[in-house]
Structure 1
Amino acid sequence: MNIETYRGLCLSKSGVTEEFPFDADTLVFKVMGKIFSIAPLERIPSQVNLKCDPERAIELRETYDGIITPGYHMSKLHWNTLFLEQLPSKLISELVNHSYELVVSKLTKKQKAALKGMI
């Protein structure tokens, strides 16, 4: 999957915005103001950071050794770095959904209600 396809996947989710809060080369995707994905655009090969359940993160790192790694410059417990071009699109889509849902599950009732209204 290339970064443009990845961007479209992230933006297809309800309540998602994209920003460059850190620098001009690091694209950040947020749901209701909370980060669920970070995409450093200048990295080659293309890679992204996604939030992940800690147990699942370990399992993914073992299964996809060297392709899914502990989150670069992130909490190694809760974030993974994925090398986009080396993973099946279906898995990437699943992991984007997982990251998005993890963040949504931590939103306040008010934020969840606002998000539901966007659908």
Structure 2
Amino acid sequence: MDFSSAQKYLLSKNQAVQTFPQDPNVGVYKVCHKMFATLTSGVAFARINLKCDPDLALELRAQYDAVQPGYQMNKKHWNTVIFDGSISDEEIYEMIDHSYNLIVSNLLDHERERLLKNG
């Protein structure tokens, strides 16, 4: 996985938007004003922060050295994935999907209905 592939996939999610609120090297990805990812460039390996079910977060950290507790995030609910080539693109896409779906499932009913209707 590389920065461009991750960015393209994040923006392909239904109504995903990208902003750079604090740093031009850190994109923040939201759906309905709720963050589901950050993507960082300008470092040795690009990295992504993704929301994750706490039990799955621990499993992924045990399985992959490139999955770490969320950098500058709530470490129980967020993982940082480093794009060092040790994790397949398909697995990273699944992690992105999981993060996005967690956020969508916790939206207010009217927000989720509007999102699904426009998807």
TM-score tier by shorter-chain length is over 0.9
Aligned-residue identity in percent: 36
CA RMSD of aligned residues (A): 0.9
Measure the CA separation in 2 of the matches of 1:13 and 1:72.
Answer: 23
Aligned-pair CA distance for 1:45:
1.0
- Provide structure 2 residue ranges, at least 5 long, that are not aligned to the other structure: none
Task: Provide the secondary structure at the position in 2 that maps to 1:85.
Answer: coil
- Tell me which residue corresponds to 1:117: 117
Q: TM-score, normalised by structure 2?
A: 0.95
Measure the CA separation in 1 of the matches of 2:18 and 2:78.
Answer: 19
- Provide structure 1 residue ranges, at least 5 long, that are not aligned to the other structure: none
Aligned-pair CA distance for 1:85:
3.4
Aligned length: 118
* Runs of 4+, deviation exceeding 4 Å: none
Measure the CA separation in 1 of the matches of 2:28 and 2:77.
Answer: 16
Aligned-pair CA distance for 1:118:
1.7
Q: TM-score, normalised by structure 1?
A: 0.95
- Tell me which residue corresponds to 2:16: 16
Measure the CA separation in 2 of the matches of 1:38 and 1:117.
Answer: 26
- Tell me which residue corresponds to 2:77: 78
